[in-house]
Structure 1
C-alpha cells in the first residue's frame, strides 16, 4: 500500500544523501528511513560505527542503504553522490557549545565553510536540501549544558556539575520526536520547501538544577544504586566552558508554525525521555565494562 503525505498524495521513493548521517541524529534518521519508508539512505560520514547494525547485507533493507566513508572537506565524490540523489540532508557540524570557545576556527570551518560545497552542488544540480542548524542563530546560546555531561557523570559515579548553580532554563526533545519532524519535511516538500522550522518541546522546560535531580532519580531506578550516592557540585561557567563563554537564561522554541504547516507536535514527556535514555546508556555502559573485564590480562 502506497504511503500518502499530508495532502493525500503518494510519496515517491527518494534517494537521500545524508551528510553526517553516521552521527547521533543521522543514525536515528537512518533507522526510521530503512524500517518505515521505501526511501534509500546514502550515508556520507567519516565513521559508520553508529549505523553498522543497519549495514548487514542480510537485512531486508540492504539494497536501500549504503555507506560512503569520506570527508566533505576534500573528497571529489561528494558532488557525484549529491547529483545522483533526490534530496540532500546536511547534518555535519560541530554542535557542542563547549567547543565554540576552545575550537573556534574548527567550528567556523565545520559549520559554515565546509557546507558551502554542499549548497553549491545542490544549487547547480537543482537538488532539494534540508540543512540543520540550532537555536543559537537567534542570539545567545541555549545549548550550553545538556544532559550529555550529566549522563557521563552518572555512569562514572561522579558529581553532576551545575554551571553557575544550574539556574538556566532549558527544553529537551526526545530524538524520536525530532526524527518524526524531519520525516514529515522529507515527505511533504510542498509544505516544507523554503521554510525554517523550529523543532523542540516547550512542555519539557526545566532548570538545569531540576534536570540534575530528575536524572539522579531516574538513574537510581535504572541502576539500582541509591540516589543518596549521587550528588551535584556547583562550578562557574568560566571554569567549565572557558573564558568568554556567553549563555542565555531561557529560550522556549515556538512550535506554532511547524504544527500548522506539518501537523507535528512533540509527544514524549521529560520523565519518559530520561527513563528511556538512561536505561539505554546504563545497559550499553554495563556491557562495555563486561567486555573489558572479560579480556585476558597481559
Structure 2
C-alpha cells in the first residue's frame, strides 16, 4: 500500500511511519514543521525516516487546499490515509484559538475532500482525542457515551472532526475510523505533555505544578501499544457498515494518579522533583479511562506496557536526547 501520513514529524506520526515502513509499505509523509514546540525534535524524528526506502516527505500545511490537491495529483497510488496532523494542546487552545480553527477544522475538511476525490481510497484513519468526553462522569469512557460537553476549544474541534467525518461517510461512502487517543507517552514524545515537561523541570531543578495534589488520574498509554492499535485499525476498514464510519478508543484502560508519574520520573532520572501545588484548571478533567473492548475485538489490541516500564524507556531516551543538544 501507499499511505499518506499527515503529521509525520509528530510524535505518533513518526512512530506509525516507522512501523509501516518496517513492514514494507510506502509512506508519503506531510508536515508543516510548525514551532509549537522545539522543531529540532521534529527534525530528529525525520532524520530517521528520510533515507528509508519507500519514504517521501513534503513540507505542507494541511489547511492549504491547493497544495494538498497538488500533492494528491503528484503522488499516485495512495490507497490509505493516516491523518494525525493537528494543533494539539488543551491549554494552548485558550491562547491561540485560530491555530485550532485552521489546522483542526479547515485541515480536516481538506483531508476529507482529498480522500473522497482519490476514488481508490481503502481507508482513512484519523486522530480524535479523549478530550471529547469533556465533563462526562461515567467511567470508563465508552464510544457510545454522549460527548456534547467539551471543556476546551481543542476538544470541541476534535468532536467537530468526528461529526464532519460522519457526514462524509454518509454522503460519499468514505470509509473512516476515528481514534480517540488517551495520553500517549514514550520516547520522542511531545515536550508540552506533562511527563516530558516534568522530566525537563526535574533535570533543571525547576518546580513542577501538580493540580489537586497530584490526584488527577490519566489513562497513560505507551507509544508502542498505540502504534499497534493504529496499524491494526488501518488494516481493517469498516465492512458492511452504513455509513462506513466508526469511532474507537485507544487507551491503556488503567487510570493512574499523576503523582505516581512524578515518583517514577524521579526514580528513572535519579533526581527529586521540586513540587508546587495548584487548583485544577477549568479545562482539565479529573480522571480519564478508556473502554477498549471495541478496538480489542476488531484488532486484538491489548496494551501491555506498564507505566513503570514505559517511563523507564522514556527517561533513558530523554537523557540521551538531552545530552545531544
Equivalent residue, structure 2, for 1:212: 262
Contact kept, 8 Å, 2:27 with 2:56, in 1: the verdict is yes
CA RMSD of aligned residues (A): 2.2
Shift in Å at residue 38 of structure 1?
1.6
Residues 193-217 of structure 1: per-residue CA shift (max 9 Å, x gap): 62211101023x2111222122112
Equivalent residue, structure 2, for 1:201: 252
The one of 35, 40, 46 equivalent to 1:51 is: 46
Please give the alpha-carbon distance, in whole angstroms, between the structure 2 residues aligned to 1:81 and 1:88.
13
Please give the alpha-carbon distance, in whole angstroms, between the structure 1 residues aligned to 2:62 and 2:125.
16
The one of 103, 107, 111 equivalent to 1:118 is: 111
Equivalent residue, structure 2, for 1:65: 55
Given the two structures, how large is their TM-score scaled by the length of structure 2? 0.72
Shift in Å at residue 278 of structure 1?
0.7
SS at match of 2:210: strand
Taking structure 1 as reference, are residues 74 and 108 closer, same or farther at Cα in structure 2, changes over 3 Å only? closer
List gaps (5 residues or longer) in structure 1.
Answer: 1-13, 221-226, 239-244, 289-298
Confirm or deny that 1:157 pairs with 2:205. yes
1:77-156 equivalence runs, <5 A: 77-82=67-72, 84=76, 85-126=78-119, 127=121, 128-140=123-135, 146-156=194-204
Shift in Å at residue 145 of structure 1?
6.5
Please give the alpha-carbon distance, in whole angstroms, between the structure 2 residues aligned to 1:145 and 1:31.
22
Please give the alpha-carbon distance, in whole angstroms, between the structure 1 residues aligned to 2:290 and 2:101.
24
Please give the alpha-carbon distance, in whole angstroms, between the structure 2 residues aligned to 1:201 and 1:180.
12
Residues 121-151 of structure 1: per-residue CA shift (max 9 Å, x gap): 2123332311111011122468696313212
Confirm or deny that 1:232 pairs with 2:222. no
SS at match of 1:92: coil
List gaps (5 residues or longer) in structure 2.
Answer: 34-41, 136-150, 152-181, 184-191
Q: Over alpha carbons, which structure has the higher Rg? A: 1
Contact kept, 8 Å, 2:124 with 2:234, in 1: the verdict is no
The count of corresponding residues between Structure 1 and Structure 2 is 255
Please give the alpha-carbon distance, in whole angstroms, between the structure 2 residues aligned to 1:96 and 1:215.
22
Please give the alpha-carbon distance, in whole angstroms, between the structure 2 residues aligned to 1:281 and 1:87.
32
SS at match of 2:311: helix
Contact kept, 8 Å, 2:80 with 2:124, in 1: the verdict is yes
User: By percentage of residues, which structure has more helix?
Assistant: 1
User: By percentage of residues, which structure has more strand?
Assistant: 2
Equivalent residue, structure 1, for 2:303: 266
Equivalent residue, structure 1, for 2:2: 15
Equivalent residue, structure 2, for 1:172: 220
SS at match of 2:29: strand
Residues 213-263 of structure 1: per-residue CA shift (max 9 Å, x gap): 22112221xxxxxx4x4331113445xxxxxx3222112100111111111
Residues 7-50 of structure 1: per-residue CA shift (max 9 Å, x gap): xxxxxxx1001111111111111111112x12101001123612
Please give the alpha-carbon distance, in whole angstroms, between the structure 1 residues aligned to 2:207 and 2:64.
42
SS at match of 1:112: helix
Contact kept, 8 Å, 1:29 with 1:179, in 2: the verdict is yes
1:34-49 equivalence runs, <5 A: 34-35=21-22, 37-47=23-33, 49=43
Please give the alpha-carbon distance, in whole angstroms, between the structure 2 residues aligned to 1:230 and 1:208.
13
Contact kept, 8 Å, 2:232 with 2:299, in 1: the verdict is yes
